[in-house]
Structure 1
């Protein structure tokens, strides 16, 4: 949003440096979290494979138990002699085969359980690392966010103070312009009194006495010389006053332009600051309060 400031206010400042640093920090945090996310996805895929293997072994054991003869559980474990009296004497010492109970699991199941246990331990470690990484990134992002907000608030205060100073300068410029215009008007009024139409007959160097007798040129009269000298001074003062008025008008236009630019920049910076405050996370973690 700060790119929409006026052209005169688009020079790089401290707020731009803070925003660039925060953007770079967020990109680095994103890359770190993406690496951690890939690790979590890999361990989840391994856990899924272990779960499928355990489920397959469980289904296999279930089918084996279904196919096992239920009467095998009724066979006695101790050896028995042949009872029938009609039996051949040579089978008298013959013993029955001992029925072994079903084993808890096969070697494949043992391997699957060990692998699942190892993967569970590894997943727990990765989960702890991910939680620590997320907590650390949140803290760093919160600190960076607060730092940028403080920088923007400081920049906003400086811009406001400068705008107020420009307002004071604008008032002083108007005061100086008014005084210069008043001085110019008074000087012009004083010069108008030296015009030929405003002089008395005795003050004119072309008065009838001088015209009739023509004793000497009127330009060499003392009064005429003083009037011409005063006229030249008044003309020089009016020219200088006119130049000062033009410079003051130019300064007035520049101050007004700076005021408009600074006002727009202050408005945009304020909008950026308020937008960042509104989009920040205001959730209050309960933690161990309850």
Structure 2
């Protein structure tokens, strides 16, 4: 403390004053109180000057810097940029899930089309089976007995209906799952549109996320780009041994202290430059976590932000993504089941078609074999009929010969029963000739033979009629079976319309 009342020493080189200098408090003319008040004011003024000088020096080191608005604007931009980049990560994740779900919907639609095609083929096979049954009902009565071909056709119909019900169940589940996937796609698109609202000023490319450190290096090191940047002022303030325009050296400021002052002045908490330094702990402590803090290397995927109601990764987005992934997994399992069901139905359909065709072909072969035997039997019957007819004619001629002429006058003398030789022979008693009796017996035998032969001819004729009827029926049945086989082979490619059958 300097004594304001002490008389300063007069330097020898100082010029002589124009008037005498009087010490304070040595006045003899003026009143004492008047002099004391003046001295008191002088002391108070000097103490205030020292105090204000100290506060000025303290304020020079700790007061808010002139570029606070720029720092706060840049800090806000950093937070906004980090949030936007995190949102971009979420948007890319949503878009990837949406694209994956769209591709899965396309694949599931192809599976649905294969199901519908297979069901259409099964329906056509059932229609063809019913048509085969209806055509086989038109066979002759003697050919309508139940055979193995009918059993195979019935078995085919039952198996086709079972496969049809199974595929219809898969188709029902597929349509229901497609509805769920469509709702999930709409939800993803809605969340994606809502999240994309803040991406108007940022590149949407996924690769740009990997190279955000280039932008940071340009912002942090503007000299490397040949121009100034927003960090010029703060870098100049934080750089040691900085020379001011007056050439005076300024002391090195404390960056942490500056951050605290800026944070207190801006009424914000935490480290304003933690995002610039990449300090994760400070960012987590301050509640500010941005994608600018940690960036993936080339070829790595960016990390997903934590779920937060007011953050980039909202629970709605997380639920939409989880729902889409769950539906995609179920869709893949469903596609595998559809593929297995369609392949199994196709193999079973071909197997049943082959079994029925083989049974019908075997029945046709058996029918043709019987027709050939019937033809041989008809030929033998015709031969026997001709032989018996000739025998009947010869027997009838023989009977006529034995009966002799119709008129008695046409008989020769040697044929008469009263010829002279017989009359002479009958003169003695008991001498009757057997001519008349034997002739009558022989005629009776011939008449019986004619009757038997006529009956045999009638039976042969009836048998021939039945053989011909059986042949006709067999031919009709063979034609029907052959037409069914041709019909089934012709319709086996399923390139026909049910209404045209």
- Give the TM interval when normalised to the shorter protein: 0.7 to 0.9
User: Is the 1:170–1:252 contact (alpha carbons within 8 Å) kept by the matching residues of 2?
Assistant: yes
- What is the match of residue 29 of structure 1? 163
- CA deviations 1:10-52 (Å, max 9, x no partner) are 1111111111111111011100100111111111111011011
What is the deviation of 1:197? 0.8
Cα separation, partners in 2 of 1:282 and 1:91, compared to 1, 3 Å? closer
- What is the match of residue 479 of structure 2? 267
Counterpart CA distance in 2 for 1:66 and 1:28 is 57
User: Is the 2:422–2:433 contact (alpha carbons within 8 Å) kept by the matching residues of 1?
Assistant: no
After TM superposition, the score normalised by the length of structure 2 is 0.48
Counterpart CA distance in 2 for 1:156 and 1:123 is 48
SS of structure 1 residue aligned to 2:402:
coil
Counterpart CA distance in 2 for 1:181 and 1:204 is 33
The 5 Å alignment of 1:163-202 reads 163-197=371-405, 200-202=412-414
Q: How much is the aligned-residue C-alpha RMSD, in angstroms?
A: 3.2
Whether 2:411 is the aligned partner of 1:240: answer no
User: Is the 2:156–2:356 contact (alpha carbons within 8 Å) kept by the matching residues of 1?
Assistant: yes
Structure exhibiting the larger radius of gyration computed from Cα positions: 2
Give the gaps of 5 or more residues in structure 2.
Answer: 1-134, 203-218, 220-229, 238-260, 273-287, 291-309, 496-501
User: Is the 2:388–2:453 contact (alpha carbons within 8 Å) kept by the matching residues of 1?
Assistant: yes
SS of structure 1 residue aligned to 2:265:
coil
The 5 Å alignment of 1:138-149 reads 138-149=346-357
What is the deviation of 1:100? 6.4
Cα separation, partners in 2 of 1:93 and 1:188, compared to 1, 3 Å? closer
Whether 2:413 is the aligned partner of 1:205: answer no
- What is the match of residue 344 of structure 2? 136
Counterpart CA distance in 1 for 2:179 and 2:373 is 64
User: Is the 1:177–1:248 contact (alpha carbons within 8 Å) kept by the matching residues of 2?
Assistant: yes
Counterpart CA distance in 1 for 2:265 and 2:398 is 154
Between 120-129 and 272-281, report the one with greater CA deviation: 272-281
Cα separation, partners in 2 of 1:165 and 1:244, compared to 1, 3 Å? same
Counterpart CA distance in 2 for 1:151 and 1:113 is 56
Counterpart CA distance in 2 for 1:45 and 1:264 is 54
- What is the match of residue 279 of structure 2? none
Q: Aligned pair count?
A: 263
User: Is the 1:203–1:223 contact (alpha carbons within 8 Å) kept by the matching residues of 2?
Assistant: no
Cα separation, partners in 2 of 1:162 and 1:58, compared to 1, 3 Å? same
Cα separation, partners in 2 of 1:59 and 1:12, compared to 1, 3 Å? same
Counterpart CA distance in 2 for 1:173 and 1:204 is 44
User: Is the 1:53–1:112 contact (alpha carbons within 8 Å) kept by the matching residues of 2?
Assistant: yes
The 5 Å alignment of 1:93-104 reads 93-95=264-266, 97=268, 103-104=311-312
The 5 Å alignment of 1:1-290 reads 1-65=135-199, 93-95=264-266, 97=268, 103-197=311-405, 200-205=412-417, 221-281=433-493
Displaced runs of 4 or more, over 6 A: 208-211, 213-216
Cα separation, partners in 2 of 1:180 and 1:64, compared to 1, 3 Å? same
What is the deviation of 1:179? 0.4
Between 131-140 and 56-65, report the one with greater CA deviation: 56-65
